[in-house]
Structure 1
Amino acid sequence: MRALDYANYGHWKSWDHDSFFRFSEYEANWFAADFDGVPLVDAKFLEIGFGNGALLSWAKSRGASIFGIEILDASLERATARNIPLLSSNLGDNLPQFREFFDVIAAYDVFEHLSISELTTALDAVATMLKPGGELILRFPNGQSPFGRFLQHADHTHRSTLSVAILYQLTVGGPLTISSKRPKKPAPIGPPWRRLGARLKSVLRLVTEWYLKKIFDLNCELGTNVVMRLTKRP
């Protein structure tokens, strides 16, 4: 990754010292849905590209021992100040010290920043660092959906367009197998009017997606983001 591309990235994202390692009720609700059924108590949890630290903070609140990887200097400085163990952003440098070390590895909004060759290398390293039965949780803009293009083209540092089909193509026959490819929608939170609005929107979205899949003969997810779980084979 070129340093120039990320020179003001944290500023663009509105990440700062005061908001680092904090998560909102809204974020916690989504994290809980994405990691539903993933044991986190006493788990060794690595986040690749932890950014402002919201997911790391949430994982720690759930009992995980957290580790991080990042390329942004400001994020690294803030993590160091909180004594968060840091690994090299060159994943291969972390081997063999962290071979079969982690129970869970997360990469939220990260792998679309890599070329396909870099992604293949990253997946190999992740598979090596995961314990047998360990899980990789991914989130990325949905390249197979017209609704995912908004997110894909909202950041010039995105280098690859990804999808469930592409991740399957990159992992088939390897040590990582796709165990889930669809995010579990969290229960609505907030005041009653907001919860009602969220439920109505969810119903309308389901009906619209069903209709579009039928008329265009689509066999893919249409959400803006894809959340996937990949499990390392025993």
Structure 2
Amino acid sequence: MTGPTTEQATTSTAQAADDGQDQSLTVDVLGPDGTRTGSLDLPPAIFDVPVNIPLIHQVVVAQLAAARQGTHDTKTRAEVAGGGKKPYRQKGTGRARQGSIRAPQFAGGGVVHGPTPRSYAQRTPKKMKAAALRGALSDRARAGRVHIVESLLGDDMPSTRAAVTALRHVSERRRALVVMARDDDVTRRSLRNAPSVHLLPVDQLNTYDVLLSEDVVFTRAAYDAFVSRLDDPTGASEDQT
């Protein structure tokens, strides 16, 4: 799946931050049928902070780098099978001297300075990841793209059709990120195969997935769990590198 670049996704945030406006962000809490069941004030410490675009870029690049498998590998001339015998005598043939048909200049020969298995992981401090996540969420919140639902289903029976219908009451945009509680098996089973819906447990919420999605939809249980993490010294931190 491809999405907007970090710079494109946060342009509106940078403009809002430059305006210096300090306004309370209030969102409606919706039921499965789209009716309003209440409202919540989003904590400014998470959803209304200035955005550091270079920081967000650094964190996203580190996350994508850490996701690389790094299993690429090539064989050197010592690892390629064959080539133990000198292909022809040293002198008298009129050809350039060669010692092995597995030398790099031969087709099928070894590779010089080729890629080897490695880890691309970068060390990113927790506070940097937390600040980047708060900035991304603030961008979505200021644009009115953070939503909270009591539940996507009216009962405890999984239903993809009912869950997708409930999401349409929240937003008609193409890409939606649904943040659910870790133990919310009903929501997981209902939306795991839904097109254009990315499903994440609340403890895996990260900057990249927020930027990749046009709307962020929290279930009420996931929102409460996420906000409670403010008690953590690093704030709303990420678990993914």
Structure having the higher helix fraction is 1
Specify which structure has the bigger relative contact order, considering alpha-carbon pairs within 8 angstroms and separated by 6 or more residues: 2
Bigger radius of gyration = 2
Query: What is the TM-score when the length of structure 1 is the normalising length?
Result: 0.27
